[in-house]
Structure 1
Amino acid sequence: MSCSCTSKLKNGKDVVDHVKSKGKENFAPTVAHEISCECGETFILKTIVMNCPNCEMTYAVTPCGSADKNNIKQAGLKYA
């Protein structure tokens, strides 16, 4: 993945689809960010595509953008 891939992806579903197409959905992010889900659960993003353990909202980020928490996008419930 090139470093410009994050800016080309419009939403969380695009990020999930892109990352999965490269077979990288189980990669660890550069930084294990703490996610505060809209359901109230707080968890650590351990892989670049991961569901909230409480409500199963899918969160995703590209490997090259994973150092910045602002690049993490919601993709919808159980999208992964």
Structure 2
Amino acid sequence: MSCGCTSKLKNGKDVCDHVKSKGKENFPPQMAHIITCECGESFTLQTIVMNCPKCNMTYAVTPCGSADKNNIKAAGINYA
């Protein structure tokens, strides 16, 4: 992530908490990414914190890192 926050954010819960603390959880990602959830469902990440429509696994990414799909992290079921 270009702002350097990756070193501070160890997992998906940290990413989700960080984004929500800044009030940016409803921001769109820089690019639309298709996520294949751990449950097998595929969906388009429309906001930088979003739940899988099938199992409610929460996925999160920082705004500055949202151009790279590899920065999107799972935070847990219904974490958001």
User: Distance between the aligned counterparts of 1:18 and 1:3, measured in 2?
Assistant: 13
- Residue identity in the other structure for 1:75: A
Which residue number in structure 2 is paired with residue 29 of structure 1? 29
Structure 1: runs of 5 or more not aligned: none
- Report the TM-score when normalising by structure 2: 0.95
Number of positions where the alignment pairs a residue of Structure 1 with one of Structure 2: 79
Q: Which amino acid aligns with 1:38?
A: E
Deviation at 1:27, TM superposition (A): 0.1
Give how far 1:70 is off. 0.4
Deviations 1:16-64 (A, max 9, x none): 1000000000000001100000111000000000000000000000000
Identity of aligned residues (%): 81
Rounded to whole Å, the distance in 1 between the matches of 2:7 and 2:44 is 24
* TM value normalised by structure 1: 0.95
The letter for the 1-side match of 2:57 is: M
- List runs of 5+ in structure 2 lacking aligned partners: none
Q: Distance in 2 between matches of 1:49 and 1:6?
A: 16
Q: How far is the alpha carbon of 1:8 from its aligned partner?
A: 1.9
CA RMSD, Structure 1 to Structure 2 (Å)? 1.0
Q: Are 1:16 and 2:19 matched, yes or no?
A: no
